[in-house]
Amino acid sequence: MTYFNTSLEDVKLLKKEDYPEKGNTKSKMRDDLDALIKELDIKDGASISFHHHLRNGDRVLVQVMRAIQRAGIKDLTLVASSIFPSMAEIVELLEDETITNIVTSYISGPVGEAVSKGKLKGSIIMQSHGGRARAILADEVEIDFAFIAAPSSDQRGNISGVNGINSCGAMGYAISDARKGKTTIAVTDYLTAYPNYPADITEDYIDYVLQIDSIGEKAGIVSGTTMITKDPVGLKIAQDTLKAMIATGLVKDGLSFQTGAGGISLAVADYLRTYMLENDIKGSFASGGITGYLVDMLEEGLFEALFDVQCFDLKAVESIGKNKNHLRMSGSQYGNPDVSCVVDNLDIVILGATEIDTDFNVNVTTGSHGMLMGGSGGHQDTAFGSKVSIIVSKLFSSRIPFIKDRVDVITTPGNTVDILVTERGISINPLRKDLIEKFEKAKVKTIDIHDLKKYAEDVMGVPKKIEKTDRIIGLSQSRTGDILDYIYQVK
Amino acid sequence: MTYFNTSLEDVKLLKKEDYPEKGNTKSKMRDDLDALIKELDIKDGASISFHHHLRNGDRVLVQVMRAIQRAGIKDLTLVASSIFPSMAEIVELLEDETITNIVTSYISGPVGEAVSKGKLKGSIIMQSHGGRARAILADEVEIDFAFIAAPSSDQRGNISGVNGINSCGAMGYAISDARKGKTTIAVTDYLTAYPNYPADITEDYIDYVLQIDSIGEKAGIVSGTTMITKDPVGLKIAQDTLKAMIATGLVKDGLSFQTGAGGISLAVADYLRTYMLENDIKGSFASGGITGYLVDMLEEGLFEALFDVQCFDLKAVESIGKNKNHLRMSGSQYGNPDVSCVVDNLDIVILGATEIDTDFNVNVTTGSHGMLMGGSGGHQDTAFGSKVSIIVSKLFSSRIPFIKDRVDVITTPGNTVDILVTERGISINPLRKDLIEKFEKAKVKTIDIHDLKKYAEDVMGVPKKIEKTDRIIGLSQSRTGDILDYIYQVK
């Protein structure tokens, strides 16, 4: 406190004529995107952030970036929590150098391909969801302008994800942007009376409210698989995964659980549900991106609460508006390694993988031919925080081999990946001697990951190395800020 | 982003052997206050913060400061959002120089008297509630250790004000401390299973959870007047205040309203309630410290929502746990002048005053003989933000004259104070020509504040000047950080 170091006699009093005029009546409302971009006076080289809660239905990122392009501003860093196929137009903005750097946690579709092909002048940094919150809150990633797609807002910027025609439910990934964005703009197509509630972001975090015709299509929130697999191979893996979970000893009262929205993962949740009902087990919480399957389990009393950072389907959106124990969480509360966070309290997480290697490193960042087609999302965070992380995958699901000596890109370090369940057996990370013992006691058969790899190669042949150029186009960052791997331009 | 300025080829990858070990299992739980104080390694000169949501029932501040005293740490700055009579023991800590500076928004009882008598070695800075949030968030007031009285917490520091034996409801003033405290300690007597919800402060903001026998007595939350006055003079003032409110033209659909918990203020709320019911008026929101009277108005549909920064009585505590439109707000959201905040949206605020002067400056900081016995709280913030601020007071309520040429200490600048209602007439600030016109049209009689003063002096005699020493012991700070007035040691 300044005044403690000075003699109070020397402190000057504010003169009557200098008292600030009563009332803050400055309007935040704007209704012309191009005029606002001009008013914001965005400089070349600035960083612009977006959240992805409308997922493939988002139309805010493209509209705003197009307006910035029209204004002739160049060399921007795009800090988007995720980038979806619907944002294909952004490729043109890489080509004309409107955007020259990208920081994101997930990228799929044409923009990912364009980046992989070298169309981004600068580089791409791939972060986990928790790592993104950490980097923003720690001022490692600075945000000059945060454009926050708002399913509803009042004139003062109280934003709610549950009201509006394009309600997306939770808005966890936008919280760090709202807190740290030097200028923050709520972009909405649904203006409410003051006060808009329940607010995910309150007016004290918002500088402008821009009203536009449409922020997107709510139906696009449901992207990727959000249905239980019907494939018998997938169902077998899910059944074996439940067996593995039980063998860990963690499936009991107080269980905390997370699973993604992939077909096998959802089947695991479904088998778990039946097992918990039959054995009268009451869990503590489920977390992550939330699906209707987890909402059902909440409403059946199988979990005490849900921690929801983003809604994966419309049933989850509906639930967060009505269920008191369907809790919102920010990206930081979810997985920021600088603080204590929800992933630290997780017993079991079920995760997918594009590739895994014999050190249990997982790649969910690049796909066939080394093309960017994903990213950590919460993968790294939950693998680290959980007592047991389980990768579920078919051994033979595409032309790409699943188990390798070294994954193309390390998304999640192997020392945090504990169990792999495939249709041809369960492998345990040799670091987890405790689990190996437990599985022996429980008489659940396991197989060394090298043997599993050999089996796959016997069937499929030894994979060819992915051919790439020697130009590094980006980095796979660990949630704590270190760099796990390079990402190369593809041929 | 660091990596955008370097050649990616030069970025070093994290080696496998340096991967952080899986899992964050560090316990935050502590059960010995003295041992924790030792562990925290608090240095001489550090700043220690507390919130006051348990008001006169708080026992956390005294217990913690006593432990710090036992540890022999000296020269601390006490950053307490308010200081109550129940904290009388703190006087000893001023005397032995455990505490040498104080930053607060309200101080009453023995500690205020001791400071006024010169027992604080350094100085006292008196801030508004919004000014406190501003100063903390802007790093003007740094907090080394934030001790947060937690009516309930789980082992990871999810704090809820609505659960627990000493539930206090809203925890708005603790939010800035949780965000900015370099080390944050939840102090609780009610440990819940994980996750504790609804959380006012989530685990990502909390470093330690200290379990103690008792954080206080919930009954002590109800301090000061929280009953409608029965005094006929007070009731007349309240009736005239309603007339004045109506004359402003603001009492109509969409009204936003704030009132304190004083007897006359509550009577105003009661008359307003009847008027709104009779005239079928539906207001927008009521805000501030919330009482049961406002809860009734919410439940009757007279307001769309309540913004609650602290609960003034147990009915408010009960309501915030069950009414979806009884909203929590942080001190920053309430009144931080650096951002848009709830007070900026207020139509009318009803406020008390210890003294007012002919420039309409208000003193609620010092009382008889210039002794510290209050503070701005939200006074400055709401007077500034509201369209119309109304001071309600009896002209003759004690031996101290109410209207003076210059108040003893300027708490709230006169240019933000619009109307004064007394039993002998209504005075309008001459700056508000618009209001003077409206009152003329509405045929509501007003009286020049100088004439009101003269009338009072004719009855009571001209007040003697308060005699003080010439030692400045503290400063009355404006919400924006400027200094409005000196506070002198009393004789």
Q: What is the pLDDT of residues B191-200, one digit of tens each?
A: 999 999 999 9
Closest CA to A84 of A101, A106, A67: A106
- Mean pLDDT across A135-155: 98
Share of chain A above pLDDT 70, in %: 98
Q: How far apart are CA B33 and CA B133, in angstroms?
A: 27
Q: How far apart are CA A361 and CA A381, in angstroms?
A: 14
Task: Report the pLDDT value the prediction gives residue A398, as an integer from 0 to 100.
Answer: 66
Secondary structure of residue A302 in the 3-state scheme: coil
- pTM comes to 0.96
**Do B8 and A307 lie within an 8 Å CB cutoff?**
no
Task: Report the pLDDT value the prediction gives residue A224, as an integer from 0 to 100.
Answer: 60
The backbone torsions φ and ψ at residue B373, rounded to the nearest 5 degrees and listed phi first, read -155, 35
Cβ(B64)–Cβ(B33) below 8 Å: yes
Q: How far apart are CA A379 and CA A128, in angstroms?
A: 7
Tell whether B332 lies on the interface with A, counting CB pairs under 8 A.
yes
Secondary structure of residue B352 in the 3-state scheme: coil
HSE-CB at A142 with a 13 A cutoff on CA atoms is: 10
Minimal Cβ distance to B472: which of A8, A16, A345? A8
**Do A195 and B327 lie within an 8 Å CB cutoff?**
yes
Tell whether A131 lies on the interface with B, counting CB pairs under 8 A.
no
Q: Tell me the two tokens of residue A240.
A: 């074996």
DSSP conformation letters of A121-171? SS-EEE-BHHHHHHHHHTTSS--SEEEEEESSB-TT--B-SSSSTT--S--
**Do B140 and A198 lie within an 8 Å CB cutoff?**
no
From chain B, the residues in CB contact with A480 under 8 A are 20
**Do A307 and B195 lie within an 8 Å CB cutoff?**
yes
Nearest CA in chain B to A332: B204
pLDDT value at A287 more than 90: yes
Residues paired with B419 in a beta bridge:
B390, B428
**Do B415 and A22 lie within an 8 Å CB cutoff?**
yes
The backbone torsions φ and ψ at residue B90, rounded to the nearest 5 degrees and listed phi first, read -60, -25
DSSP B377: B
Task: Report the pLDDT value the prediction gives residue B224, as an integer from 0 to 100.
Answer: 60
Cβ(B491)–Cβ(B467) below 8 Å: yes
Task: Report the pLDDT value the prediction gives residue B223, as an integer from 0 to 100.
Answer: 62
**Do A23 and B385 lie within an 8 Å CB cutoff?**
yes
- At residue A431 the predicted structure's pLDDT band, cuts being 50, 70 and 90, is very high
Tell whether A458 lies on the interface with B, counting CB pairs under 8 A.
no
Nearest CA in chain A to B305: A195
The Cβ of residue A306 has, within 10 Å, a number of other Cβ atoms equal to 25
From chain B, the residues in CB contact with A413 under 8 A are 16, 19
Tell whether B213 lies on the interface with A, counting CB pairs under 8 A.
no
Q: Radius of gyration over alpha carbons of chain B, in Å?
A: 24
For residue A416, give how far its alpha carbon lies from the nearest alpha carbon of chain B (Å). Answer: 5
Nearest CA in chain B to A380: B22
Task: Return the axis-axis angle of helices B292-299 and B263-278, rounded to nearest 10°.
Answer: 10
Residues paired with B188 in a beta bridge:
B150, B211
pLDDT value at A397 more than 90: no
Minimal Cβ distance to A472: which of B9, B77, B103? B9
HSE-CB at B408 with a 13 A cutoff on CA atoms is: 29
Q: How far apart are CA B253 and CA B276, in angstroms?
A: 9
Q: Which of residues 67-126 of A touch B (CB under 8 A)?
A: 77, 101, 103, 122-123, 125
Tell whether A205 lies on the interface with B, counting CB pairs under 8 A.
yes
Q: For chain B, which ranges sit under pLDDT 70?
A: 223-225, 398-399
Task: Report the pLDDT value the prediction gives residue B398, as an integer from 0 to 100.
Answer: 66
A217-227 pLDDT, tens digit each: 988 888 665 78
Minimal Cβ distance to A24: which of B1, B285, B344? B344
Task: Report the pLDDT value the prediction gives residue B14, as an integer from 0 to 100.
Answer: 97
- Mean pLDDT across A95-122: 98
Nearest CA in chain A to B9: A472
**Do A340 and B25 lie within an 8 Å CB cutoff?**
no
Minimal Cβ distance to A195: which of B4, B193, B305? B305
pLDDT value at A342 more than 80: yes
For residue B9, give how far its alpha carbon lies from the nearest alpha carbon of chain A (Å). Answer: 7
pLDDT value at A470 more than 80: yes
Distances (CA, A) of B123 to A6, B79, B94: 10, 12, 11
Q: Tell me the two tokens of residue A265.
A: 């993962």
Nearest CA in chain B to A418: B22
Task: Report the pLDDT value the prediction gives residue A188, as an integer from 0 to 100.
Answer: 98
A214-268 pLDDT, tens digit each: 999 988 888 665 788 899 999 999 999 999 999 999 999 999 999 988 899 999 9
Task: Report the pLDDT value the prediction gives residue B3, as an integer from 0 to 100.
Answer: 81
For residue B487, give how far its alpha carbon lies from the nearest alpha carbon of chain A (Å). Answer: 10
Q: How far apart are CA A335 and CA A342, in angstroms?
A: 6
Closest CA to B136 of B181, B94, B197, B183: B181
For residue B316, give how far its alpha carbon lies from the nearest alpha carbon of chain A (Å). Answer: 18
From chain B, the residues in CB contact with A332 under 8 A are 204
**Secondary structure in 3-state letters for A171-182:** CHHHHHHHHHCC
Tell whether A16 lies on the interface with B, counting CB pairs under 8 A.
yes
